[in-house]
Amino acid sequence: MTNRTAHHPAFTFLRSEFIDALNVTVQEFEHTVTGAKHFHIASDNDENVFLVGLKTIPTDSCGVAHILEHTVLCGSERFPVRDPFFMMIRRSLNTFMNAFTSSDWTAYPFASKNKKDFNNLLDVYLDAVFFSRLDELDFSQEGHRLEFAEPDNVESDLTFKGVVFNEMKGAMSSTTSVLWQTLTKYLFPNNTYHFNSGGEPADIPDLSYQDLLAFYRTHYHPSNAVFMTFGDIPAETLQAEFEAKVLSRFERLDTQVSVPNAKRYFSPVRVEEGYAAEEVKEDGSHVVVGWLLGESTDLNQQFEAQLLSSVLLDNSASPLLRVLENSDLGRAPSPLCGLEDSNKEMSFMCGLEGVKREDAEKVEKLVLSTLEEIAEKGVPQESVDAMLHQLELSQREIGGGGYPYGLQLILAGLSTAVHSGDVIAQLDLDPVIEAMREKVQDKAYIPNLIKTLLLSNSHRITLTLSPDDALEARRSQAETDRLSQIKAGLSDAEKQQIVKRSADLKARQSQIDDMSILPKVGLEDVPARLPEYEREEVAGDLPVTFYPQGTNGLVYQQLVIDLPELTEEEISYLPLFSSMMTELGVGEADYLTVQERQAQVCGGLGASNSIRATIKDRQALNGYFILSTKALVPNVKAMSELLKDTILNVRFDEVNRVKELVAQRRARREQSITGQGHSLAMTAASSALSGLAAQQEQWSGMTGIRSAIALDDAMKEDDKAVNDVLALFKGMHAKLLKAKKQLLLVAEPQHEASIVSDVQAILADLPVGAEDTKFALKPVDSRVNLAWLTSTQVSFCSKAFRTVSGDHDDVAALTVLGGFLRNGFLHRVIREQGGAYGGGASFDGSTGSFRFYSYRDPRLTETLADFDASIEWMLTETHTEEALEEAVLGVIGSMDKPGSPAGEAQGDFYVQLHGRSLAYREAFRAKILAVSIDQLQQVAKTYLTKENENVAVVTSTSKREELEALGFDIQAL
């Protein structure tokens, strides 16, 4: 349906369309003078989202777009304070606030449920993006600068500093990031994707301040911008703000920023490069085959590529993934397997990791011969139909998690908008899916796609990335030599200029800005009550809790089982057991048949555990095993049959499958270290504080990663290790079947009666259990001073202090204290002055620990000292009520952050299941709002003491001597 909609006179209305599958209306406008586009997704959702995106096209790897993204947020014309972005985080009830640099665009999004807050943030974001101050000192802080190791001593060594410089040192410590950047360097020989838009650490110091200004002038202009909004604020109202605050001051830009298409190869290319590794393992190589495809703005080409990628790689029954998973040439499929469709031109890639270097050509041959065989034999029609079903399901699902739903929709259309494609068509996939249903009836359709997109496509790269244990040393030496050369060429005046700039920057970082010029919300704007969710409880042998929610035609189903008493060995394998439960065969069917069945009837099947300390005792636990799935309403019966079959008849006899899954799990865990190093450090630091904290380290911490490696190695030795684990799993499964069970259902209210009736009938013969569970962990209360060494160019530091938990009166103050320390002290000294990408503190109520952390940090000893200094600052300085209010707002904002309709219902169910009633949560909220500065100082004095301190770091092997001198217990994977 297309009709004209209300708009501001400065804009031209282009079109409007209601998208039934999403229950939104997408409206497209263009600013008459500048040509800026505005896409508004009109919805009755009160969580309003704003994003301005700009096409940013770097022509080198100096990181100009990334550094500019950071520097733009450091003060603007109307808000000339040093750090309005982080200041607004503290003065806001935002549900999301960030900025992103992609390979060809930069975006500035935020979201809020509070209209006053939304308008405040809109003011700040519009001014920041289009009227940024771009102070040279901010460029030095956020990008790069030279400093002497001893800032006042010109005889000391020179060093490079800068937030983005260290962020990218951390990012490029990830082998997966190196793999991606190396592959795209060769896939795109002549355009912007050839370069690392985030910045290569070796190249970032080449960027000058003048280069930054020139890039801003040509790229940060409304003619190169797209405004995207979502929610219940009318487009006309938003456009009035855009016009008044920004657009009325600009004319149309003559030059257009664009991405040229890549030059095509006439024959395939094979290349080899290295990645930094602690040791050179014989089977340590990655081999990836990549193809350059058509343009992502062509929706038919994009959808064909998505369908082909899904058919080939969606699950273990998919023909290409099945071959990769079963190949003896490598340990696991490459993390890059799949389609990349966010660039102007798409790429498809697949391969293996854990490969012997000399087997690279064999991997390439395996991929090509498999594709030839699939093209020759075709793909079963039910497999193709299942992939179309998955695409329809993902189209309808209202997401949740880290991003607001509106932002997810905006990001789905952003790349298309930036490259002048059809955003409405990109969001309204139903017509494309229907057209595709017709096309796939032709048995030759998928084979022809394989031939045209892949086998006959000469623009193909085969990349071998092999471990190099000397690469990091060479890279460090090159940086040292470069700095020595720079220092040798400095005049006395230039040396003094470096000293002066360091002093000027430190003074700027320490200055107290007049924050009153920034808009804010206050505690008076905080909603008085938490939302109360309607729920229906249906008694029976298998109790059912039903939440009526607007789920857009989906049904969410979870079988919740009380965790029974388990042995220590069984507990150690609980996450592995859960991850495998839905990846194995069921009854007479092998795992491949089950994977196909899952794809045909539901949006996947998953198992997880929900374990939490009780309110009264952090050493006592409530634990639940959860089997989860979701489906469109017509598939409820089939979904329930699948769930029942899985819990009753899962097979623990597929030895090779288990070995594959363990190898894949090991690969994922090893790759995760540099991306979540701060979490790993905090988990390690907290591990001595309770039984649950200790077990979390064994499950998901560095100890858990080491265990995953050891298990994979043991299973490669012989099948005894596999059979031992399978025997253990059979015992755990038998205990689960005897335990108490209940069911959680979330769906639209009009479907309640039929869904509950159908599901109860199907699950009627489940053994429901009668015994109370006795799941428990041994209490732990000790100390750690631990350092984990790995392949990284930066550090992740943490300190954890033993505190209290549950309903103790001090918990509210401890919760607020984390934000107070971050806002007032840690952000400045760790990020701005220390150069880390991030740092802060938080209270973890589940383990009763208060934790400091730093992320992608060039320092180690100094950061640990800064954690201590923040405590001293808290205890000895005079603090303002305004700073307290900001910290409280931050806590309330995180507590009130909305999720998807299904996610909010599930969250409500589990907090109540774990004994946190609405009354309890509202009482806690009231305590948060009543916290005083005296309370903050009291809890800091009481708990943040040396007697309660535990320390852990994840860092480079080059730090071994420093760590030994500090008395750390040093561990390595």
User: Hey, which residues does 523 pair with through a beta bridge?
Assistant: none
Looking only at the bridges linking them, the beta strands covering 11-19 and 24-31 are antiparallel
Instruction: Spell out where 718-826 has E strands.
Output: 741-747, 785-790, 796-802
AA identity, residue 99 = A
Structure tokens at 602: 């539901």
Q: In 3D, which of 501, 690, 521 has the Cα closest to residue 611?
A: 690
**Residue in 699, 519, 667 with CA at minimum distance from that of residue 120:** 519
Tokens of 775: 């799941």
CA separation for the pair 90, 98 (Å, rounded): 13
Burial 825-835, CB ≥16 within 10 A → b, else e = bbbbbbbbbbb
Q: Pairing relation of β-strands 621-632 and 554-562? A: antiparallel
In DSSP terms, which residues pair with 355 in a beta bridge?
A: 285
361 is catalytic: no
Task: Tell me if 574 sits within 8 A of 567, measured CB to CB.
Answer: no
Which one of 28, 47, 69, 142 is the catalytic residue?
A: 69
Q: For residues 625 and 565, what is the distance between their CA atoms, to the nearest angstrom?
A: 12
In angstroms, the CA 222 to CA 244 distance is 13
State how beta strands 849-855 and 554-562 pair. Answer: unpaired
**Residue of 830, 822, 854 whose CA lies nearest to 955:** 854
Tokens of 504: 């000027």
Q: Is 566 helix (H, G, I), strand (E, B) or coil?
A: coil
CA distance 459 to 289: 11
- Residue 325 is given by DSSP the state H
Give the whole-angstrom CA distance, residue 250 versus residue 916: 54
Token pair, residue 958, equals: 């080059």
Length of the chain: 973
Percentages of the chain per state (helix, strand, coil), in multiples of 5: 50, 20, 30
Establish how many alpha carbons lie within 13 A of residue 392's alpha carbon, considering only the half-sphere containing its beta carbon.
25
Cα 197 vs. chain centroid, distance in angstroms?
A: 19
Neighbours of 123 (CB within 10 A): 18
Eight-class DSSP state of 264: P
User: Which two tokens mark 179?
Assistant: 């793999």
What phi-psi label fits residue 170: left (phi over 0), alpha (psi between -120 and 50 degrees) or beta?
A: alpha
The amino acid occupying position 907 is: G
CA dist 478 and 634 (Å) reads 62
- Looking at the DSSP bridge assignments, the partners of residue 160 are 146
Q: How far is CA 262 from CA 102, 121, 291, 295, in A?
A: 18, 38, 12, 11
Q: How far apart are CA 860 and CA 539, in angstroms?
A: 56
SS (H, E, C) 80-149: CCCCHHHHHHHCCCCCEECCEECCCEEEEEEEECCHHHHHHHHHHHHHHHHCECCCHHHHHHHCCEEEEC
Q: Please say whether the beta carbons of 331 and 713 come within 8 A.
A: no
Reference 498, options 154, 144, 135; nearest CA is 154
CB 347 within 8 A of CB 454: no
> Catalytic residue numbers?
69
